[in-house]
């Protein structure tokens, strides 16, 4: 019943999205009724998909196994929390999530632009609704991926959610990544609209910048959560493996980062229009590619979720997006070209261009490495793959370059900077970086790892430079308005959210990269095999395997260890363990069936600002498994009542025979057998405690890895600051023409120059020159806005 | 111009080094008669019930992905991903020594099981 309701809602959502496309195209001549109709159709799609998601989630919560999606991905025993997250562990559920998030983002974007961008919006609506109808249509027509397909007869229980996925991150990691992918549709759609209508000023960028930033933040947070999950749960102690699916999420993030920087150049200087159009198309295509890779199984990946039916369709969509957008950009080249050139290499826009090239280079490297197996097969006929060292070789120098320019960029003003100004801002950060380099060489062996050493030095430069920006900004504000330093800091950040939010992101990313460099270059990583009571020394710490632990319940057999780690007279205890789970969805069964299902590692982790101590255990289960199998054999003999079975078995045999004859006795017989099996399992567990079987431990001492998580969270906070709408009285409704856009951008430029001068970034002469230039340009804009027959000089 | 030059250089370096740094993916049937010292990414399916603990490492057998054909013995030490067990598909970098595929430390990748698709056992 609810399934058919859901099926109808999904079909209606598809039709509503299709109607939105048609209505939007009908609205391109500016008929307000069609504009309204298309917008409402998008809202309707959103409402219908929300209903679909709600119905699926209710089915999961109620264990409604008539839904095939519920039966395949959940079970009665699945904890309630994971029942709700199980939706997106399935192919059809994640497609629904895609379409749903897209419909939400599209509705928000259309609401935000309801009075603006009249020419662009119809085309943007058509693109967004087109993508939405593609994904809803996929669920309806591709076969095997309809979330509302049902099972008959209704099974009593489900297969359950893979225990590897039962981790709190499951609740947020996949939705974050998907939302990040999806949200890039919005700037893409508006870019297409701007290209079609040749409205190529910065107004489409201003309308969708926030969506690009949200997409970037969500994708980045999703990546960070994935890294954390891998580190704490997967039992190998790493956070990044250059796995194709990780790369697939990293690539749109990198290009998205480049896009967020280069659109500032377009906003301020009306340059790089072709580049920006290409970047957003690439970002969107890569986001689709990410969705495709997760679901297709073309590349070997730990995330490969099995071959699927939807792969070819998504590939088709990517082809359409790439070919269509390229044709569109080429046909608009004349409008996109900018007459201006970068004034000077010592300017912020020049640094942005360099940073863009580095980011695109990084992405190209990752792309090549990720798809190399396919490329190699094409050329040599043999599949071949590239391992982590190959990726590291190229990404390390590029990332270090990025850190350097992360430091340089914020110190430079727009347009040009004279030597005198530059000296003023570079002096302190440069001196501090050199000082750190000397200290590191004298007191640590960091210089042995040249790449990490370079990164630390550049990171110090960047962090001090950013700190100086905050300091000088706050000092300038204090000299104008007085007040305390913290109040001044809050003041400059709230008044310039984009600028200082961006700086906070930079601080976070630099701290994150310090963590990456330190933990990958200076990690100690060893396997030790210890019997209870034995100890080993790893990186100056004594690791003592004090005693084994066991725990048995209906679903899992847990073998663990109490490990004491001592250093410098202090010690702490960690309890790593490994859980052996019965195949999902069964709670009874033979004792050895504990070892038929998944096994998961619970690591022991002592995190610290200086370094993390990480330990995972791999117990030797040979003996336990042997005993379990022998016990199972014994039970089978007992049940058969074979001659020669021990006397305590006779009761069991009699019971089984009686139960075979009388169905009423079966439940109690089954309960009794299960009780006996549990007792036996407990006995076997106890022998493990006494045997003194050695276990293998993977011990990792990871310096500064905590900085990664802290840096990531700082970057996220910075993104939130930049996203948060500024609280200022709403001025006259933002007019929808190029001149208004230019005027507003010019005002902002004048204000930025003022701030840069106040913060000491521009010398008095530089500022006087720049300010005169900007004001002249502003007057020219105003003149032409007032209808004077003067040509607008977009300089 | 400079940017273009750098881009071309990077591209050339990527292409050149990737072909020399990559290892070929081989199935067990392709490796059985291989000369000692042949290095490869072994891909295949772990034979059920073949996994044994051996000191700090593991010893098991890997058969072709479709399950047919002969299997090759494998030794491996290093981290074992959680999903690793009999019947799973793996990828392991290493080389052939005396008919045994010796895996490089920490290179074992196990493909996720497919509780994710509808038609899996």
pLDDT single digits (tens) A724-758: 887 654 444 454 556 776 777 788 788 888 878 88
DSSP result, A325-359 = HHHHHHHTHHHH--S---S-SSSHHHHHHHHHHHH
Chain A to chain B, count of Cβ pairs less than 8 Å apart? Answer: 131
CA distance A497 to A356: 22
Q: Are strands B57-63 and B89-97 parallel, antiparallel or unpaired?
A: unpaired
Residue B119's pLDDT is what?
32
pLDDT average, residue stretch A704-708: 94
Average pLDDT, rounded, for chain A: 86
Phi, psi of A59 (to 5 degrees): -60, -40
Closest residue in A to B79 (Cα–Cα):
A236
CA distance B23 to A388: 12
ipTM score for this prediction = 0.80
Q: Taking 80 as the threshold, does the pLDDT of residue B48 lie above it?
A: yes
Tokens of A106: 């599209």
**3-state DSSP assignment of residue A270:** coil
Indicate whether B15 belongs to any domain.
no
CA distance A212 to A184: 6
Indicate whether B94 belongs to any domain.
yes
| Contact yes or no for A304 and B81 at CB 8 A | no
If we measure between CA atoms, which residue out of A162, A371, A356 comes closest to residue A257?
A356
CA distances from A516 to A366, A511, A520, A707, A712 (A): 17, 9, 6, 8, 11
CATH of the domain at B76: 2.40.50.140
Indicate whether B119 belongs to any domain.
no
CA distances from A656 to A589, A631, A633, A650, A669 (A): 16, 17, 16, 10, 7
Residue A191's pLDDT is what?
94
Would you call A4 an interface residue with chain B, using a CB distance cutoff of 8 Å? Answer: no
> Which chain A residues have a beta carbon less than 8 Å from that of B83?
164, 302, 598
Q: What percent of chain A shows pLDDT beyond 70?
A: 93
Q: Are strands A541-552 and A556-567 parallel, antiparallel or unpaired?
A: antiparallel
Residue pointed to by tokens 């790089």: A272
pLDDT average, residue stretch A558-578: 92
- pLDDT bin (cut points 50, 70, 90) of residue A722 is very high
User: Shortest Cα distance from A390 to chain B (angstroms)?
Assistant: 7
Under the phi-then-psi rule, with left for phi > 0, alpha for psi from -120 to 50, and beta for the rest, what region is B47? beta
Indicate whether B8 belongs to any domain.
no
Question: Do residues A23 and A37 make contact, with C-beta atoms less than 8 angstroms apart?
Answer: yes
Q: How many CA atoms lie within 13 A of A697 on its CB side?
A: 36
| Contact yes or no for A385 and B109 at CB 8 A | no
Buried b (16+ CB within 10 A) or exposed e, A592-625: bbbbebbbbbbbbbeeeeebbbbbbbbbbbeebb
Q: What percent of chain A shows pLDDT beyond 90?
A: 41
- pLDDT bin (cut points 50, 70, 90) of residue A794 is very low
Q: Which of A180-194, A329-343, A420-434 has the lowest mean pLDDT?
A: A329-343
Indicate whether B100 belongs to any domain.
yes
User: Shortest Cα distance from A354 to chain B (angstroms)?
Assistant: 9
Q: Taking 80 as the threshold, does the pLDDT of residue A340 lie above it?
A: no
Q: Which of residues 75-94 of A touch B (CB under 8 A)?
A: 89-91
Higher pLDDT, A535 or A732: A535
Residue A297's pLDDT is what?
56
| Contact yes or no for A302 and B6 at CB 8 A | no
User: Shortest Cα distance from A659 to chain B (angstroms)?
Assistant: 31
CA distance A39 to A109: 10
| Contact yes or no for B82 and A598 at CB 8 A | yes
Q: How many CA atoms lie within 13 A of A665 on its CB side?
A: 12
Of B15, B77, B116, the CB nearest to A305: B116
Higher pLDDT, A439 or A597: A439
Three-state secondary structure of A714-732: HHHHHHHHHHCCCCCCCCC
| Contact yes or no for B53 and A159 at CB 8 A | no
Q: Which of A37-51, A421-435, A465-479, A658-672 has the lowest mean pLDDT?
A: A658-672
CA distance A1 to A740: 54
Question: Do residues A770 and A762 make contact, with C-beta atoms less than 8 angstroms apart?
Answer: yes
- pLDDT bin (cut points 50, 70, 90) of residue A223 is very high
User: Shortest Cα distance from B98 to chain A (angstroms)?
Assistant: 23
CA distances from B46 to B74, B87, B89 (A): 10, 5, 6
Mutate to test the interface with A, among B15, B18, B30 (most CBs of A within 10 A): B18
Indicate whether B17 belongs to any domain.
no
> Which chain A residues have a beta carbon less than 8 Å from that of B103?
none
Q: Which of residues 560-579 of A touch B (CB under 8 A)?
A: none
CA distances from A15 to A20, A149, A757, A760 (A): 8, 19, 56, 58
User: Shortest Cα distance from B22 to chain A (angstroms)?
Assistant: 5
Would you call A235 an interface residue with chain B, using a CB distance cutoff of 8 Å? Answer: yes
Residue A163's pLDDT is what?
78
Tokens of A391: 């990726």
Would you call A357 an interface residue with chain B, using a CB distance cutoff of 8 Å? Answer: yes
Of B111, B115, B120, the CB nearest to A584: B115
CA distance A44 to A327: 32
Q: Which of A53-67, A108-122, A127-141 has the lowest mean pLDDT?
A: A108-122
Helix axes of A419-443 and A450-481: crossing angle, nearest 10 degrees = 130
Mutate to test the interface with B, among A78, A696, A700 (most CBs of B within 10 A): A696
User: Shortest Cα distance from A286 to chain B (angstroms)?
Assistant: 19
User: Shortest Cα distance from A287 to chain B (angstroms)?
Assistant: 21
**What residues of chain B have any CB closer than 8 angstroms to a CB in chain A?**
3, 6-7, 10-11, 13-15, 17-19, 21-25, 41, 43, 52-53, 55-56, 77-83, 85, 91, 93, 106-107, 109-118, 120
If we measure between CA atoms, which residue out of B54, B89, B96 comes closest to residue B73?
B96
Under the phi-then-psi rule, with left for phi > 0, alpha for psi from -120 to 50, and beta for the rest, what region is A286? alpha
> Which chain B residues have a beta carbon less than 8 Å from that of A308?
117
pLDDT average, residue stretch A396-415: 89
User: Shortest Cα distance from B19 to chain A (angstroms)?
Assistant: 8
pLDDT average, residue stretch A781-792: 61
User: Domain residues for B68?
Assistant: 23-110
- pLDDT bin (cut points 50, 70, 90) of residue A377 is confident
pLDDT tens for B16-40 read 777 777 777 788 888 887 788 888 8
Tokens of A704: 């500064």
pLDDT average, residue stretch B58-74: 84
Q: Which helix (H) or strand (E) holds A541?
A: strand A541-552
> Which chain A residues have a beta carbon less than 8 Å from that of B78?
527
The number of distinct structural domains making up chain B is 1
Mutate to test the interface with A, among B5, B40, B82, B114 (most CBs of A within 10 A): B82
Residue A325's pLDDT is what?
94
Q: Taking 80 as the threshold, does the pLDDT of residue A213 lie above it?
A: yes
Mutate to test the interface with B, among A526, A527, A593 (most CBs of B within 10 A): A527
Of A164, A236, A305, the CB nearest to B114: A305
pLDDT average, residue stretch A314-332: 92
Q: Taking 90 as the threshold, does the pLDDT of residue A261 lie above it?
A: yes
């Amino acid at each position: 019943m609810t399934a058919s309701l859901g099926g109808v809602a999904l079909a209606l959502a598809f039709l509503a999205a299709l109607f939105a496309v048609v209505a939007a195209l009908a609205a391109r001549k500016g008929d307000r009724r069609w504009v309204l109709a298309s917008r409402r159709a998008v809202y309707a799609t959103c409402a219908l998909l929300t209903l679909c998601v709600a119905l699926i989630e209710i089915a999961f919560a109620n264990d409604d196994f008539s839904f095939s999606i519920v039966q395949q991905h959940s079970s009665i025993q699945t904890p309630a929390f994971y029942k709700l997250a199980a939706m997106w562990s399935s192919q059809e559920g994640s497609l629904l999530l895609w379409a749903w998030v897209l419909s939400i983002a599209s509705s928000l974007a259309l609401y935000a632009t309801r009075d603006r961008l009249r020419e662009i919006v119809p085309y943007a609506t058509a693109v967004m609704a087109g993508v939405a109808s593609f994904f809803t249509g996929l669920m309806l027509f591709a076969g095997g991926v309809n979330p509302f397909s049902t099972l008959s007869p209704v099974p009593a229980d489900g297969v359950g959610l893979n225990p590897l996925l039962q981790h709190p991150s499951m609740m947020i990691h996949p939705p974050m990544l998907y939302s990040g992918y999806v949200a890039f549709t919005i700037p893409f759609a508006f870019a297409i609209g701007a290209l079609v209508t040749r409205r190529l000023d910065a107004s489409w960028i201003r309308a969708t910048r926030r969506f690009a930033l949200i997409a970037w933040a969500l994708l980045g947070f999703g990546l960070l959560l994935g890294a954390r999950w891998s580190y704490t749960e997967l039992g190998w102690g790493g956070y990044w493996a250059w796995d194709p699916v990780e790369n697939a999420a990293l690539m749109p993030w990198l290009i998205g980062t480049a896009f967020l920087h280069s659109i500032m150049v377009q906003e301020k200087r009306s340059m790089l229009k072709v580049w920006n159009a290409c970047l957003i198309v690439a970002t969107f295509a890569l986001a689709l590619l990410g969705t495709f890779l997760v679901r297709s199984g073309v590349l070997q990946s730990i995330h490969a979720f099995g071959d699927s039916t939807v792969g070819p369709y998504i590939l088709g969509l990517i082809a359409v997006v790439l070919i269509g957008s390229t044709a569109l950009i080429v046909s608009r080249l004349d409008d996109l070209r900018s007459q201006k050139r970068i004034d000077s290499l010592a300017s912020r826009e020049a640094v942005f261009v360099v940073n863009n090239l580095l980011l695109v280079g990084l992405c190209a490297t990752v792309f090549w490495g990720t798809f190399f197996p396919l490329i190699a097969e094409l050329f040599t006929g043999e599949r071949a793959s590239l391992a982590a060292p190959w990726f590291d070789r190229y990404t390390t120098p590029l990332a270090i370059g990025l850190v350097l320019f992360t430091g340089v960029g914020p110190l430079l003003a727009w347009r040009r900077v004279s030597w005198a100004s530059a000296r003023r801002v570079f002096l302190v950060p440069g001196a501090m970086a050199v000082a750190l380099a000397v200290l590191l060489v004298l007191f640590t062996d960091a210089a042995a790892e040249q790449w990490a050493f370079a990164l630390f030095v550049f990171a110090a430069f960047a962090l001090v430079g950013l700190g100086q920006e905050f300091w000088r900004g706050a000092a300038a504000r204090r000299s104008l308005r007085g007040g305390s330093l913290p109040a001044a800091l809050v003041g400059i950040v709230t008044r310039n959210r984009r600028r200082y939010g961006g700086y906070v992101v930079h601080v976070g990313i630099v701290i994150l990269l310090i963590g990456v460099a330190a933990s990958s270059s200076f990690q100690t990583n060893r396997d030790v095999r210890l019997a209870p009571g034995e100890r080993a020394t790893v990186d100056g710490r004594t690791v003592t395997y004090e005693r084994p632990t066991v725990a048995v319940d209906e679903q899992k057999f847990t073998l663990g260890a109490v490990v004491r780690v001592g250093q410098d007279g202090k010690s702490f205890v960690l309890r790593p363990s490994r859980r052996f789970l019965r195949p999902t969805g069964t709670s009874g069964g033979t004792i050895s069936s504990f070892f038929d299902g998944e096994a998961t590692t619970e690591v022991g982790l002592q995190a610290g600002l200086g370094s993390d101590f990480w330990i995972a255990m791999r117990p030797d289960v040979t003996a336990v498994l042997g005993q379990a199998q022998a016990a199972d054999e014994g039970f089978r003999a007992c049940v058969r009542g074979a001659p020669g079975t021990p006397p305590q078995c006779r009761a069991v045999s009699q019971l089984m025979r009686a139960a075979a004859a009388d169905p009423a006795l079966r439940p109690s017989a089954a309960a009794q057998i299960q009780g006996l099996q549990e007792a036996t399992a407990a006995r076997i567990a106890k022998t493990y405690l006494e045997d003194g079987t050695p276990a293998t431990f993977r011990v990792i001492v990871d310096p500064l890895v905590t900085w990664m998580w802290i840096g990531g969270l700082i970057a996220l906070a910075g993104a939130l600051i930049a996203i948060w709408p500024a609280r200022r009285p709403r001025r006259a409704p933002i007019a929808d023409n190029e001149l208004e856009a230019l005027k507003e951008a010019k005002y902002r430029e004048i204000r930025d120059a003022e701030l840069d001068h106040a913060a000491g970034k521009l010398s008095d002469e530089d500022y006087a020159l720049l300010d005169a230039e900007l004001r002249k340009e502003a007057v020219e804009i105003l003149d032409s806005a007032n209808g004077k027959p003067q040509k607008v000089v977009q300089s | 111009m400079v940017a273009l030059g750098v881009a071309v250089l990077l591209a050339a370096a990527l292409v050149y080094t990737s072909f020399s740094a990559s290892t070929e993916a081989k199935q067990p049937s392709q490796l059985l008669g291989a000369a000692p010292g042949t290095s490869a990414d072994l891909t295949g399916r772990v034979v059920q019930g073949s996994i044994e603990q051996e000191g700090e490492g593991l010893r098991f057998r890997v058969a072709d992905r479709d399950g047919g054909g002969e299997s090759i013995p494998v030794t491996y030490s290093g981290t074992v991903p959680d999903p690793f067990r009999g019947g799973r598909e793996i990828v392991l970098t290493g080389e052939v020594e005396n008919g045994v595929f010796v895996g490089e430390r920490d290179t074992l990748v196990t493909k996720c099981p497919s509780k994710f698709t509808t038609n899996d056992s």
